[in-house]
Amino acid sequence: MRFVKLSQKECKEIRKLYESVMSQACYGLFYREGMILGEEISRIAQQEQDGYFDVCAKLLKAKGWVEDVKFEDSVCYATASIESLEMEGSEKPTCHRLRGIVKKIYEGYGHKRMVCEEVECAGKGDQQCVFKVEEGGGD
């Protein structure tokens, strides 16, 4: 067995590279997973008597994916996403799974294809995660 001695600076650079590569590789996977989860949440919410977005919020909180979430016409506000807390200190938005969920929730509500963008992210140091949703093409 051989060992390689690395300085703290080298370890930080390797970690940064690894996180960057893994983040990019997992980006699509987490987003698609979120879309699958979002479809299920939307399906359940459509069957309930309570308000659609209220049911979606309850399900997201019950799963532990958010501490709080608020849906408005074209914006979703979420706090304490587990995903973003794991990647705290990132330079780019990190809540790919939650973005996929939010996209499908809005699509289920409006029955239209939507585009969802994370414009603020707790993982980047923002106060909360904010998702902008608008009608459009996409996945």
Q: What is the DSSP letter of 135?
A: E
Mean pLDDT in consecutive groups of 10 residues from the start of the chain, 139 residues = 83 79 76 94 92 95 90 88 55 87 95 93 87 80
In this prediction, residue 2 carries a pLDDT of 82
Domains of the chain (ranges plus CATH)? Answer: 8-135 (3.30.1380.20)
Contact between 133 and 114 (Cβ < 8 Å): yes
In this prediction, residue 137 carries a pLDDT of 65
In this prediction, residue 83 carries a pLDDT of 47
Q: What is the SS3 string spanning 65-127?
A: CCCEEEECCCEEEEECCHHHHHCCCCCCCCCHHHHHHHHHHHHHHHCCCEEEEEEECHHHCCC
In this prediction, residue 23 carries a pLDDT of 63
In this prediction, residue 35 carries a pLDDT of 95
Tell me if the pTM is above 0.85: no
